[in-house]
Amino acid sequence: MAMTDKQIDTSQDLEKLYSNRFDGDQTLKKRDVMWKCICKYFLQKYIPKDAKILDIASGYCEFINNIEGSEKYAIDLNPDITNFADKSIKVIHEDILDDKTNLPINYFDIVFISNFLEHLDSKEDVKRVINKSKQYLNENGKIIILQPNIRYVKGRYWDFFDHKTPLTEKSLIECANILNLKVVKCYKRTLPYTQKSKIPMHSFLIICYCKLMPISSIFLGAQSLIILKK
Q: Residue 36's closest CA among 213, 204, 223, 218?
A: 204
Say what the pTM is. Answer: 0.88
Residues 99-120 have a mean pLDDT of: 95
Above 50 in pLDDT, residue 9?
Answer: no
Task: Tell me what pLDDT residue 113 has.
Answer: 98
163-185, pLDDT tens digit by residue?
Answer: 999 999 999 999 999 999 999 99
Q: Which domains does the chain have, with CATH numbers?
A: 5-229 (3.40.50.150)
Polymer length of the chain: 230
124-135, pLDDT tens digit by residue?
Answer: 999 999 999 999
Q: Are 86 and 67 in contact (CB under 8 A)?
A: no
Task: Tell me what pLDDT residue 127 has.
Answer: 98
